[in-house]
A and B are shown apart, each in its own frame.
Chain A
Amino acid sequence: MFRERVKEELRSPDLGAALAALLGSAEREPDERGVYRLLGEHGLLGVDWPRRYGGQGRTAVHAAIAVEEMMRAGVPDTLFVNGVQTVGNLLLLAGTEEQKQRILPRLAAGRCFASVLYTEPGVGSDLSALTTRAVPVDGGHRIDGVKMFNLKSGITDYGLCAARTSTEGSRYEGLTLFLVDMRAPEVLAERLDTMSDEQFYRVALDGVRVTGADVVGGLGQGWAVLAEALPLERTGLDFALRAERWYRAGCGGFDAPEGLAGSDGHDRAAAPGPTADQLADIGRHGAATSAARLLAWRCVGSAEAGRLDELGTSTAKWYASEQAAAVARWATAAHDFDAPPELAALLDSAYREAPGLTLSGGTSEMMLQTISSFLLAGGTT
């Protein structure tokens, strides 16, 4: 079975050791690129990409299984979600043949990394208002502007940057996506401290030059490409997996109550049984966490069948991110100061990460906006 094979790869000596070292690091946001290189060597990054672009030529379902097992093994997933899934899949969808050949094999090999440069200081939910300008110059465009709240930009090679190439027509027209070389001297990435383990970056683009070969999806096509690509990153699977991990942690230390305990006879004195309220919460969060995963997997199935729709992905993203955040809060509150140090650290990290989940990748309100517009237009029957 593919899942077993993925698990085996993750347990292989080189990858296992590198992952253990990363997870044991005392640093707040240790550099995971070494682990990613090994994930690439073990064929775990471009699972559903065509072989000619360095992938394994498998299905979206296989890719989702690989993601599940990587996350369960503790692989930090941002380089994957932002780089492989968001940038990589967008290139696969809308990139030129040259771009695919230039970038995808190295992304799949864990030898190059990409980040997403959409948000700006004054622009978050309403991307159509963005002000970063790309003006035509000899041999291409020159980009000026400031991008905010992006992750991993300090260690990535490419940034997928949304910029305005025209002010004519509506605000949705005239947006273009560019691949920016993050190592160019005109690109300045500064860390922006956050309460979460992962830090934001503020990226100043100070006249950075791009050529026609760096335009993704055509000049002025930015909005259309984003509209088509956004559902691909919103299956909710990454959020559902966070919910799952934190739910397990939240249940840690609680033992089965008498009556449903079975007769294994092991000593329960060390762990007092949960109260009735705790038991009900364990039931509730368990069900919602399972449901989040089912919703995400339904999107994976739709993606596989080429029927991924915005209603399904918005539903899954909203539900899974809200549930993950709720589990983080519940699990933190359910364990007091007696929690063993490892559990306490995990739950603390979850609690600090939780508020970002319902903002990143489209806020909860934007998901509800999408769902309700389908509902009110009669598009759900």
Chain B
Amino acid sequence: MRLELDDVQRDLLLALRAGLGRVAAADGRLDPAEVHSCLAELDLFALELPDDAGGLAFGLDHAAPVCEELGQWAAADPYRAGALFADLLRAPRADGAQHQPRDLDELLPLLATGKLTAGLAAGTGVVATPGTGGWRLHGDCALPDPPPEAAFHLVPVRHGGGTALAVVAVDSPGLGCAPTGRDGVRRLRLAGVTAHALSTPLHDADGLPSPLLVRARIRQAAYLLGLAAGAHRLAVARAVTRRQFDRSIGDNQAVAFPLAEQFARLEAARLLVHEAGWHSDSGGDGGGDSSGSAALGATQSLACTAELALQVTAHAVHVHGAAGIATSSAVQRHYRAAAVEATRWGAPAALWREAGALRLR
């Protein structure tokens, strides 16, 4: 495994950074539609998809830096849900369909160009029951703001075999979507909605996360890493420019040292994320050497980056002083995004328990 980015990864990253830089407002704010067209222009939606779907067939080792860069901007990100959707379509599914229903089959090329996007719901409130004509979904869950033109939502659902991901069309009968008191999060209500497709359970009978979940966790970890690293960069810049008592606030060790510690933790986390991506790309399915498995790598890097994102973004606001709380400041967007993104795939404590159990296997 290489521990530094290679030239292709670096080029990809710089192209995305430049593209986002061109459309960002002065305070770094990005319009979700602009992010989408930037990703589409750079052909990034095709990154992980196979050749025959018009994809570029790169692995997570290339997708992770992209997710990280999106996190660096605290950008609304249509990439992760789209890539997960594509993984779901390509994986064996619980409905046993070896060949996709035609309409689903045609979705991959649309995902590859970014013409199709999806929302990604979170929470445990939806139950799936087998019915005539497919799985029927009932219950409520949270929906962090989906991309503007999302045609589908991916919804975590519980059934006898565990938790799985269901695909529902946004215009399905029985589906309601309403704002909530929580910033950036909507509520999805499902009353007898028919699932277009259902993934296999996200954990197998032994508790091992499925390859689908492993990949989603790694992308999420990369995004969270970026979220934290972006806030950290803003805090460092602030520590240099803000002067009090006739010197930069960063000249005080009480300000400088926590930033240095966080830098080291971010570097450490980045290596964990990349290692996880590497294991996943090279087919580590969680079997074999447990400490080297993709399952463990994905779980621990998500737990680690989720906690880091919460901690580093909060501290970055603190370093900015009261100015950091004003909505005109960039850093508060990272802090607020962390609240939504850090728990999308479960609370960090639960992920740590899962990682611990995987280590003892």
Asked if A and B are interacting partners, one says yes
Interface residues of A, Cβ cutoff 8 Å to B = 251, 254-257, 259-263, 274, 276, 278-284, 286-288, 290-292, 294-295, 297-298, 301, 315, 318-319, 365, 367-369, 371-372, 375-376, 378, 380-381
Q: Does the CB pair B356–A294 fall under 8 Å?
A: no
CB closest residue in chain A, given B271? A294
Q: Does the CB pair B207–A287 fall under 8 Å?
A: no
Q: Which residues of B contact A368 (CB under 8 A)?
A: 253, 256-257, 260-261
Give chain B's interface residue range (CB within 8 Å of chain A): 35 or more
Extra A-B contacts (19), CB below 8 Å, given A283-B356, A318-B264, A369-B253? A251-B359, A255-B360, A261-B206, A262-B206, A283-B303, A283-B357, A283-B358, A284-B352, A290-B272, A294-B272, A294-B275, A295-B264, A315-B264, A319-B265, A365-B257, A369-B257, A375-B263, A376-B239, A376-B250
Nearest CB on B from A267, distance (A): 16
**Which residues of chain B (260-319) have a CB below 8 Å from chain A?**
260-261, 263-265, 267-269, 271-272, 275, 291, 296, 299-301, 303-304
Nearest CB on B from A153, distance (A): 32
Q: Does the CB pair B272–A287 fall under 8 Å?
A: yes
Interface residues of B, Cβ cutoff 8 Å to A = 3-4, 206-208, 233, 236, 239-240, 248, 250, 253, 256-257, 259-261, 263-265, 267-269, 271-272, 275, 291, 296, 299-301, 303-304, 349, 351-361
CB closest residue in chain B, given A301? B3
CB-CB under 8 A for A256 and B256, given A280-B349, A283-B303, A368-B261 = no
Q: Does the CB pair B271–A283 fall under 8 Å?
A: no
Q: Which residues of B contact A319 (CB under 8 A)?
A: 264-265, 267-268
CB closest residue in chain B, given A247? B359
Of A255, A294, A375, which is within 8 A of B259 by CB?
A375
Q: Does the CB pair A375–B236 fall under 8 Å?
A: yes
Distance between Cα atoms of A318 and B253 in the complex (Å):
16
Q: Does the CB pair A280–B356 fall under 8 Å?
A: yes
Distance between Cα atoms of A301 and B268 in the complex (Å):
15
CB-CB under 8 A for A376 and B240, given A255-B360, A286-B359, A371-B260 = yes
Contacts A/B (CB < 8 Å), 10 sampled: A257-B360, A259-B207, A280-B353, A283-B299, A283-B303, A283-B352, A283-B355, A286-B359, A287-B303, A378-B240
Nearest CB on A from B4, distance (A): 7
Distance between Cα atoms of A96 and B98 in the complex (Å):
71
Q: Which residues of A contact B260 (CB under 8 A)?
A: 318, 367-369, 371-372, 375
Q: Does the CB pair B206–A287 fall under 8 Å?
A: no
Q: Does the CB pair B272–A298 fall under 8 Å?
A: no
Q: Does the CB pair B360–A274 fall under 8 Å?
A: yes
Distance between Cα atoms of A278 and B272 in the complex (Å):
21
CB closest residue in chain A, given B2? A301
Nearest CB on B from A141, distance (A): 38
> Which of B240, B253, B299, B356 has its CB near the most chain A CB atoms (within 10 A)?
B356
Q: Does the CB pair B264–A279 fall under 8 Å?
A: no
Q: Which residues of B contact A254 (CB under 8 A)?
A: 360
CB closest residue in chain A, given B351? A283
Distance between Cα atoms of A287 and B268 in the complex (Å):
9
CB-CB under 8 A for A282 and B259, given A260-B208, A295-B267, A315-B264 = no
Nearest CB on A from B295, distance (A): 10
Of B239, B269, B354, which is within 8 A of A291 by CB?
B269
Q: Which residues of A contact B300 (CB under 8 A)?
A: 283, 286-287, 290
Distance between Cα atoms of A319 and B236 in the complex (Å):
19
Q: Does the CB pair B3–A372 fall under 8 Å?
A: no
Q: Does the CB pair A259–B256 fall under 8 Å?
A: no
Q: Which residues of A contact B239 (CB under 8 A)?
A: 376
Nearest CB on A from B231, distance (A): 14
> Which of A255, A284, A292 has its CB near the most chain B CB atoms (within 10 A)?
A284
Q: Does the CB pair A282–B356 fall under 8 Å?
A: yes
CB closest residue in chain B, given A255? B360
Distance between Cα atoms of A282 and B296 in the complex (Å):
12
Q: Does the CB pair A288–B264 fall under 8 Å?
A: no
Q: Which residues of A contact B253 (CB under 8 A)?
A: 365, 368-369, 372
Nearest CB on B from A273, distance (A): 9
Nearest CB on B from A322, distance (A): 8
Distance between Cα atoms of A294 and B239 in the complex (Å):
29
Q: Does the CB pair B360–A259 fall under 8 Å?
A: no
Distance between Cα atoms of A144 and B256 in the complex (Å):
39
Nearest CB on B from A317, distance (A): 9
Q: Which residues of A contact B275 (CB under 8 A)?
A: 290, 294
Q: Does the CB pair A286–B291 fall under 8 Å?
A: yes
Q: Does the CB pair A376–B360 fall under 8 Å?
A: no
Q: Which residues of A contact B352 (CB under 8 A)?
A: 279-281, 283-284
Q: Which residues of A contact B233 (CB under 8 A)?
A: 381
